[in-house]
Structure 1
Amino acid sequence: MIFKNAKINAFRTWGLLLTMLGMGLMVLGTAGIVFFGQAGKIFAGIGLVFGLIMMMGSLGIYFWAGMLSTSAVQIQCPECSKLTKMLGKTDRCMFCHTILTLDPSQANITAEELEAQQTKA
């Protein structure tokens, strides 16, 4: 249950991961010049290009998550009583990770039954 997260937060996590990987590739690419001298310029160019591509991917993911966030339904979590945003029929609270649903047919089942239904689909 600790690794389950809200959908919007999952998108933001992937964006952050791409940002960190992109920056890491850029730093390692530039370090190629220090370690390999003139031959490291090719390594640096490759690292900088792939790092830039990852950073652009991160920008796209953050933009997409932001657009999803503006159209998400805001509801109050029954567990922690905080306002959270929900995407789709079922989602998790951004704060306490409680499973939330707007679908009345799924409202009275346990978390294990809901997860079993989601893995089947």
Structure 2
Amino acid sequence: MFGKSSKINEFRLWGLLFTLFGMGLMILGTAGIVFWGQAGKVFAAIFMVIGMIAMLVSVAVYFWAGMLSTSATILICPECNRHTKILGKTDRCMYCKTKLTLDPKQATDLGDDESASEEVGQPQT
């Protein structure tokens, strides 16, 4: 969605957005009771249900991101020298946003004296 973040962090961001959206809808629904009294109860019930669905979607997104995180390849970022997780063949560092790849054909900044595995980081076992 926003482009300059790792894939796992993007999934977590979507989970956070769904959480905030759901909570906002539930608060808005509760405001219907305050401002409209008895007529606002139907308004509140509708917005509470929609907000709860958004909250459940956020739980599903967070669960999915957690499951992806457990199977992600861990490597050392060549820029910041921190352990980071990578999904797929290309991703970004979770900390410094450096583009990383496991495919030597996609690595662009290879010097003559460096091998492809030194540039993209060593996968940890």
> Which one has a bigger Cα radius of gyration?
2
Q: Runs in 1 of length 4+ with deviation above 2 angstroms?
A: none
TM-score norm. by structure 1 comes to 0.87
- Would you say 1:16 and 2:23 are equivalent positions? no
- Would you say 1:60 and 2:69 are equivalent positions? no
C-alpha distance in 1, partners of 2:68/2:61?
10
C-alpha distance in 1, partners of 2:35/2:62?
34
Name 1:80's counterpart in structure 2: 80
Name 2:49's counterpart in structure 1: 49
C-alpha distance in 2, partners of 1:9/1:80?
17
SS of aligned partner of 1:52: helix
Q: What do you get for the CA RMSD once the two structures are aligned?
A: 1.5
One-letter amino acid matched to 1:44: A
TM-score norm. by structure 2 comes to 0.84
Listed one character per residue, the Cα deviations across residues 16-62 of structure 1 (whole Å, up to 9, x for unaligned) are 00000100100110110000000000110011000000000000000
Q: Give the total of aligned pairs.
A: 109
Consecutive unaligned residues of structure 2, counting only runs of 5 or more, are 111-125
* Structure with the largest fraction of helix: 1
C-alpha distance in 2, partners of 1:5/1:36?
43
SS of aligned partner of 1:38: coil
How far does residue 108 in structure 1 lie from its aligned partner after superposition?
2.5
C-alpha distance in 1, partners of 2:90/2:41?
50
